[in-house]
Amino acid sequence: MLGGYISDLEAGDVFEPVEYELTAFMVREYAHGVEENWEGYHAPAVNGRQIRPPTMVHVDKMRILEKNCRKEKRVSGDKGPAARVHYEYFARHHGPAYVGETLIVSGRITDRYIKRGRDYLDYYLEVKTLDGRLVTTYTDKTLLAYKPVEEARK
């Protein structure tokens, strides 16, 4: 269910897309935060343009959750009922995202299931430019809580 906590999401939920302009500040801050020194992330050094680290698709996941899970806004600092634990990241890169471009992030929940007592959520996200060029496709697996489901209910 959209509109609540991240732990309310269910298989089949389709996110309302997020649209934003990629800024030099976003890219530099992120690259700096992970000590990524490749100059293409810090300056217009790739054929005169600056590009973002492809791992920033994970920030897009935060953005789309912020918009679609209004009771829990990690970017704004609001916690949900339990801390989630990121288990798997898988990004396919189709092309660079350049500073100054408008990016559109869309996606859905592909699965939710219990495995070895833990509650898992699977995501699929796509990032495209405003003119429809595919930048990144992304799947993600997250535990909704580290504690096993039965223990968390006690």
Buried-exposed string 48-61: b where 16+ CB fall within 10 A, e elsewhere: eebbbbbbbbbebb
At 126, give phi and psi (nearest 5°).
-130, 140
Count of residues near another protein by CB under 8 A: 48
In the stretch 46-85, what mask flags binding to another protein with x, by CB under 8 A?
A: x----x-xxxx-xx--xx--x--------x-x-x--xx-x
Closest contact distance (angstroms) between CB of 74 and another protein is 8
111 interacts with another protein by CB under 8 A: no
First to last CA, the chain: 24
In the stretch 132-151, what mask flags binding to another protein with x, by CB under 8 A?
A: -------------xxx---x
8 interacts with another protein by CB under 8 A: no
For the chain, how many helices (H) and strands (E)?
3, 5
113 interacts with another protein by CB under 8 A: no
35 interacts with another protein by CB under 8 A: yes
Nearer to another protein, 45 or 114 (CB): 45
E strand or H helix at 27, and its extent? helix 24-33
- DSSP-assigned letter for residue 33: H
Q: Distances in Å between the alpha carbon of 23 and those of 35, 57, 106, 136?
A: 18, 14, 19, 17
Binding site for another protein (CB under 8 A): 20, 23, 25-27, 29-30, 32-36, 38-40, 45-46, 51, 53-56, 58-59, 62-63, 66, 75, 77, 79, 82-83, 85-96, 145-147, 151
